[in-house]
Amino acid sequence: MLIIVQNLPVPLDRRVWLECQALRDNGYLVSVICPKGPGDPARHDVDGVALYKYRPAPEAQGAAGFAYEFAYSWLRTAWLSLRVHRERGFDIMQACNPPDTYWLLAKFWRVRGVRFIFDHHDLNPELFVSRFGAPTSLAGRVQLAGLRWLERRTFRTADHVISTNESYKEIARRRGGVAESQVTVVRSGPDTTRMRPVHPTIDVRRGGEHLLAYLGIMGPQDGVDNVLKLMDELVHRRGRTTVRAALLGFGDCLAELEQQSTDLGLDPYVEFTGRVGPEQIAQYLSAADVGIGPDAATPLNELSTMNKTMEYMAFALPSVAFDLKETRVSGADAVLYVPSGDVSAMADAVERLLDDPDLRVTLALRGRERVSALLDWQPQREAYLAAFAQVAGVPSEPDANVATPVEDRAAKAPTGLTYVDLGDEDEMRTFVLHRGG
């Protein structure tokens, strides 16, 4: 089994790493080609998964920059695929988008008997419109048409398509012409046996009384600037000077966001952590009072599953989010929703949570119950493995873990941390009321 990822290194890409572990545990020999993260070697094994990595392309600027990035990454990936085939072999290749360019590599390997699975992470035509608006120039229309063509070629080359939600599945069927039997929905649910609240051991509130948290990529379409606008509203207009915000993650806009924080006079109140691992995520999301979903309504965001929403719920962290179709599918009644782009309404919802401990407890426990019962990775894992069994032509046997209640499956807390007892209602209530304080 060969998995190709271009936009994130592995195991940093949580969804892909869960997929790798599922395949490994079910007897597949798993190899991954992806860009290097800081300090990563070109070739190493992690928990039985072979990682082949290349130096990432320079940050893209403009259409020419993106074209160079895609071409460079494609060629480096193609070369490494020859090496993987020589050293370990593979019968199935899974490509995770963006971009939608690896169908051509799949055609190259198909003549050698390799089957192709497309793991559909992003809607690239919608991403283009969300970033740049509906094109009015000839060049823009050509670029958008090119993205749609690449998407169609990817769908039509794939032996099977894995969609991250029902909205993506509908696009695979309607726009890609993929048969119902050839599409499987595998949501990016967290492994709630591991992603769960801990008793924080460090003070991440930086002297504040309350902490807001954002976890995720910081790109142009992610709306992280709305978190800064929210903090500006809370601190400078509403006098909430005891509120702090922690922004966990990285991306193309990180430096710009840091400068915006300085320009708004928010540096004493806002922390940018940069890239974070499981231990840091557990510490911050267990200490925070409210999670923020700042993704505004765009053609992409309306149809995309926001992993952060489910991750907040996994840590029993009540959250506020702009009202998006798929965010409601994930959060249901465990999230407070406000009109897209209305920062003042978001500030109202945050204040409501900060001032109402009982509401915080209700949403926290409701969210944790929902994510563990309905959105956990384990049932998604079964669907994922069934899709591979179908493509590989092997029997699909049920996994014993699925029959085991999520909360009963053993998992070790990150080093030096202790899990909150999810079965003790009093402890959970006390934790939510005093998290990190």
Reported as a single tens digit per residue, the pLDDT across 355-389 is 999 999 999 999 999 999 999 999 999 999 999 99
Query: Is 356 in the same domain as 285?
Result: yes
Identity of residue 280: Q
For the ranges 46-55, 198-207, 320-329, 362-371, the lowest mean pLDDT is seen at 198-207
| Domain final residue pick, 185, 201, 235 | 185
SS (H, E, C) the chain: CEEEECCCCCCCCHHHHHHHHHHHHCCCCCEEEEECCCCCCCEEEECCEEEEEECCCCCCCHHHHHHHHHHHHHHHHHHHHHHHHHHCCCCEEEEECCCCCCHHHHHHHHCCCCEEEEEECCCHHHHHHHHHCCCCCHHHHHHHHHHHHHHHHHHHHCCEEEECCHHHHHHHHHCCCCCHHHEEECCCCCCCCCCCCECCCCCCCCCCCEEEEEECCCCCCCCCHHHHHHHHHHHHHCCCCCEEEEEECCCCCHHHHHHHHHHCCCCCCEEEEECCCHHHHHHHHHHCCEEEECCCCCCCHHHCCCHHHHHHHHCCCCEEEECCHHHHHHHHHHEEEECCCCHHHHHHHHHHHHHCHHHHHHHHHHHHHHHHHHCCHHHHHHHHHHHHHHHHCCCCCCCHHHHCCHHHCCCCCCCCCCECCCCCHHHHHHHHHHCCC
Q: How far apart are CA 190 and CA 3, in angstroms?
A: 20
**Number of domains within the chain:** 2
Within a domain: 268: yes
HSE at residue 253, side-chain half, CA atoms within 13 A, is 18
Q: Is the pLDDT of residue 404 over 50?
A: no
Query: Is 248 in the same domain as 168?
Result: no
Q: What is the pLDDT of residue 437?
A: 67
Q: How far apart are CA 342 and CA 294, in angstroms?
A: 10
As a residue count, the chain comes to: 437
Q: What is the pLDDT of residue 410?
A: 52
Within a domain: 14: yes
Q: What is the pLDDT of residue 235?
A: 98
Closest CA to 402 of 388, 386, 419, 381: 381
In this prediction, residues 315-332 reach a mean pLDDT of: 97
Q: What is the pLDDT of residue 414?
A: 76
List beta partners, residue 120.
163
| Domain final residue pick, 316, 341, 372 | 372
Provide the percentage of residues in the chain whose pLDDT is more than 90.
83
Find the CATH number of the domain harbouring 264. 3.40.50.2000
Q: What is the pLDDT of residue 60?
A: 66
For the ranges 77-86, 150-159, 246-255, 264-273, the lowest mean pLDDT is seen at 246-255
Confidence of residue 228 (pLDDT cuts 50, 70, 90): very high
Query: Is 112 in the same domain as 238?
Result: no
In this prediction, residues 200-228 reach a mean pLDDT of: 93
Burial of 48 (0-12, 13-18, 19+ CB in 10 A): exposed
Query: Is 266 in the same domain as 329?
Result: yes
Query: Is 92 in the same domain as 222?
Result: no
| Domain final residue pick, 185, 219, 245 | 185
Q: Is the pLDDT of residue 203 over 70?
A: yes
For the ranges 41-50, 61-70, 74-83, 174-183, the lowest mean pLDDT is seen at 61-70
Q: How far apart are CA 292 and CA 317, in angstroms?
A: 10
Within a domain: 340: yes
Closest CA to 19 of 187, 192, 249, 166: 187
Query: Is 239 in the same domain as 178?
Result: no
Confidence of residue 406 (pLDDT cuts 50, 70, 90): very low
Within a domain: 113: yes
For the ranges 93-102, 168-177, 415-424, the lowest mean pLDDT is seen at 415-424
Q: Is the pLDDT of residue 314 over 60?
A: yes
Within a domain: 292: yes
Q: What is the pLDDT of residue 411?
A: 66
Query: Is 132 in the same domain as 170?
Result: yes
Within a domain: 30: yes
> pTM for this one?
0.89
Query: Is 288 in the same domain as 353?
Result: yes
Q: Is the pLDDT of residue 402 over 60?
A: no
Identity of residue 145: A
* Mean pLDDT, the chain, integer: 92
Q: What is the pLDDT of residue 396?
A: 64
Structural domain of 252: 210-372
Query: Is 135 in the same domain as 215?
Result: no
Q: How far apart are CA 170 and CA 166, in angstroms?
A: 6
67 or 310: which carries more pLDDT confidence?
310
Task: Determine how many CB atoms are found less than 10 A away from the CB of residue 249.
Answer: 20
Query: Is 80 in the same domain as 17?
Result: yes
Query: Is 260 in the same domain as 326?
Result: yes
Q: Is the pLDDT of residue 292 over 50?
A: yes
Q: Is the pLDDT of residue 51 over 90?
A: yes
Burial of 414 (0-12, 13-18, 19+ CB in 10 A): middle
Q: What is the pLDDT of residue 202?
A: 87
Query: Is 215 in the same domain as 292?
Result: yes
Please enumerate in sequence order all residues whose Cβ is within 8 A of that of 76, keeping only pairs 6 or more positions apart, or say none.
54
In this prediction, residues 94-107 reach a mean pLDDT of: 96
Q: Is the pLDDT of residue 245 over 80?
A: yes
Q: How far apart are CA 106 and CA 104, in angstroms?
A: 5
Q: What is the pLDDT of residue 403?
A: 38
Q: What is the pLDDT of residue 66?
A: 76
Provide the percentage of residues in the chain whose pLDDT is more than 70.
95
Q: Please state, in angstroms and as integers, the Cα–Cα distance from residue 402 to each residue in 28, 380, 407, following that order.
A: 19, 10, 12
